[in-house]
Amino acid sequence: MDIDFEYYKIFYFVAKYGNITKAATALGSNQPNVTRTMKLLESQLNCRLFIREARGISLTEEGELLYSHVEIACRHLLNAQEEIFRQDSQRGGSVEIGATDTALHLFLLNALHDFKQEYPAIRIKIHNHTTLETVKHLTNGKLDFAVITTPFETPKTFSSIKALDFAEILVGGSQYANLCDTALDLKDIKQYPWIGLSRGSATYELYRNFFIEHKIDLEPDMEVTTADLMLPLIENNLGIGFVPETLALPLLKEKKLVQIHLTCEIPKRSIQIVSDKERGKGLAADTFYKYLKNRPVTLSALSAI
């Protein structure tokens, strides 16, 4: 009788966790698929393997017998896979990722520094585009994965994991210090030049919709293609703009920028690690992806940027 080895692998995780939902999570699958596979395995073996209980599942006598053999085989194979994975990572390989400016400065730079110390042989190529352009390149298969800034829309086949939340604030150069005396209504900033990212960027669409929701018609007086260009322009009193708080803090402390408070709440944003679930990654890319996914982000790490 030929039974798909994948059935035994799924059986191993279900038996190991004693819970179908937890097993599905560990396998990157879902509960219905795991349940269906276990029913097929029981049917092909012509025996009952599990007893389903309120708190999970337990193995029948036949299930215990099967698990005693499957556990050994799976552990050997998974350990061998991990060893090959580790050796390949140490040998090298290449990764192509997409990243927005904000994602690069708030999250990726520190992560890259630490990752390269641990995996110096892995080559990384970063494509710096807007969120919308990066999603397009990922959809076309030009990237292994992407680190991008919300908001964005992706196909259903994509997975998205939050790397960190961040706040943006409204700032101006030193000549706008008089605006710091009291919180302004959003409509009050119409009389001042606004510097923003250009059309086609997620940030442009975010604030365009933000103003529309508050019944304000406002377009940037000065548009820039990258977030890097905004702070120098604002610092030189060419206008006011919304920028990530973490990036503005050093200039605020030096009094080269001032924070302009608003009576309304500024939209919250996050940086997400996005990949296509239907497209496999090379071992080097998977190493970097898992490293970023499991990397804790601390305030001290952000303050070092």
Domain extents for the chain? 5-89, 92-162+272-303, 168-267
Span 168-267 CATH architecture: 3-Layer(aba) Sandwich (3.40)
pLDDT tens digit sequence for 208-235: 899 999 999 888 899 998 877 899 999 9
CB count, 10 Å around CB of 280? 9
Antiparallel, parallel or unpaired: β 222-224 and 50-53: unpaired
pLDDT tens digit sequence for 71-86: 888 887 877 777 676 6
pLDDT tens digit sequence for 132-178: 889 999 988 889 999 999 888 888 889 999 999 999 999 999 999 99
pLDDT band per the 50, 70, 90 thresholds, residue 305: very low
Q: How high is the pLDDT of residue 79?
A: 73
Answer yes or no: is pLDDT of 278 > 50: yes
Q: Catalogue the E-assigned strands of the chain.
A: 50-53, 56-59, 93-99, 122-128, 145-149, 158-166, 168-173, 195-197, 222-224, 241-244, 257-260, 269-276
CB 49 within 8 A of CB 11: yes
Of 3.40.190.10, 3.40.1190.20, 3.90.1490.10, 3.40.1190.10, the CATH number of 92-162+272-303 is: 3.40.190.10
Q: What is the pTM of this model?
A: 0.65
Q: How high is the pLDDT of residue 88?
A: 61
Antiparallel, parallel or unpaired: β 222-224 and 158-166: unpaired
Span 5-89 CATH architecture: Orthogonal Bundle (1.10)
pLDDT tens digit sequence for 61-116: 999 999 988 888 888 787 777 767 666 656 677 899 999 989 999 999 989 999 99
Residue 255 φ/ψ, nearest 5 degrees: 60, 25
Domains 5-89 and 92-162+272-303 share a fold: no
